[in-house]
Chain A
Amino acid sequence: MQMKNQIRNIAKALQQTNHAFESLSNLGFHLLQDLESMNSSFDNSFQISRIINDQFRAQCAIQSHENEKLLFIATKILSEPELIDESEVEPYLISLGAVDASLRDGKHGRPIVGFMHPTISEAIADLLEENLFHELRLHSSWDDWNSSFQRKQSQLQQLIELFPIEHPFSTIFVSLQLSLSSITEEISEQKKIETTLHSLIQHSNDVLHAEHAAYFRLHSMRLERKLVQLPVRCLESEEE
């Protein structure tokens, strides 16, 4: 009976972990969509970010797969308790034992692939679901893109704080967060170009002397060349 209760607790924690991995996978997918849009506008300048995000998504897939295996074992044993006495089930019970040990260790317990402590799972789900509706919005200006990436940077910062450095997610989050900084810098530069260009065009029309107008037009032309087309946010289903 006590063992059944323990397995029930493990299954619950694994279920919470599963939910957190789903949220993380969604984050990876939304990042992929945004990075694809940025890369198509910025001539693939952010491929490194895309590669780091691919690593993140691969890690999510590995962890989710392990989680589902563990969850299957736990629910199978709960629905058929007599299996506990079968010798073939022993290796699976050992896996669940490792999960149990990590659960008892607390928040930053021993690392088990496919498992996270419920405190961390809940924090991840809360953090990522809070901003979920923003992901459905279309971006019609550089400000929208800037807010979107800044929001993701802030989420990543909070995720970094949730994982110990030994966890495979930790360095991925740090790398992703850093790589998004270069994107927000580019976005901010585009915003500056757009604003300055608008003002330059206005000034070149207002000035009295042709040589000043020419000077401002020259700068306008130089800035126009640096202006990048606003990325279109794709809201399509996941690419293969």
Chain B
Amino acid sequence: MLDIEDIKQGIIEAQQYHLSTLERLNSIESNHLSGQVRSLQHSINHSILRPLEKAEMLISMIEELGAKNIPKALLDEWIEEVKTIQILTGDYADEESNS
């Protein structure tokens, strides 16, 4: 079983961490680093923040509809998707307090 509240908390923490990283990247004013900064920002957006948003949406749909009202095959697929994305959440609460 998924601990939805735990995952949601993990998503929020990961989003905060990566958004603050994006802010820090935005503040870098260096012409010779601009390419790498943009690439890193793009990677954070597309490889981390978008999947996290997707997981948020899937969780909100599961909560809105109720797991028992979703066709089983689809629910299983969504749960797998959320589990995969959950890997991206890591343990950012500690990381943020350390940074």
Q: Which residues on A are within 8 Å of B, measured CB to CB?
A: 189, 191-193, 195-196, 199-200, 203, 207-209, 211-212, 215-216, 219, 222-223, 226
Contact = CB atoms under 8 A, between A and B. Distances in A.
Contacts of A189: 71
B74 A219 contact: yes
Across chains A and B, which 4 residue pairs bring their CB atoms closest together, nearest first? Answer: A192-B71, A196-B70, A195-B69, A192-B69
What size tier do the contact residues of chain B reach?
Answer: 10 to 19
A203 B57 contact: yes
A203 B61 contact: yes
A196 B71 contact: yes
B94 interface: no
B71 A209 contact: no
A212 B64 contact: no
Nearest to A216: B57
A211 B50 contact: yes
B74 A223 contact: yes
Interface in B64-86: 64-65, 69-71, 74
A230 to B, nearest CB: 17
A216 B74 CA distance: 12
Contact of B74 (A191, A196, A208, A211): A196
Contacts of A216: 57
B21 to A, nearest CB: 19
B65 to A, nearest CB: 6
B61 A215 contact: no
